[in-house]
Amino acid sequence: MLRQLRNSRQQTCKVCGRPDKFNFRVPDEVWASIIPPELQTKVVCLYCFDEFAHKRGKDYSQDIKTLYFAGEQAIFEFSVVWGKGATC
């Protein structure tokens, strides 16, 4: 997993062009309902994913269980603590 996270930082978002340093996963059906068809097989950063979800009124807060940030100096693991559908 560590190697996969380090390699992910070399990817760039095909929407905004920024380096994609966040590694996250959502179920295929969630991805398909949020990301436009022409981008569904491309790298989309979390920022752009969130923007698409917001524009479509989709709550994905329960669909990301773990989020990784792969920086130059360290890798961090985050968990969702708040979202429209979260029960905090």
The β-bridge relationship of strands 67-70 and 22-23 is: antiparallel
Residue that has been written with the tokens 């708040």 in this structure? 82
Burial class (CB in 10 A: 0-12, 13-18, 19+), 73: exposed
Phi, psi of 65 (to 5 degrees): -90, -40
pTM of the shown model: 0.76
5 close to 27: Cβ distance less than 8 angstroms: no
pLDDT digits (tens), the chain, 88 positions: 555 555 544 689 999 999 888 889 999 999 999 999 999 999 999 999 999 999 999 999 889 877 898 888 888 988 777 666 555 4
Amino acid 8: pLDDT: 46
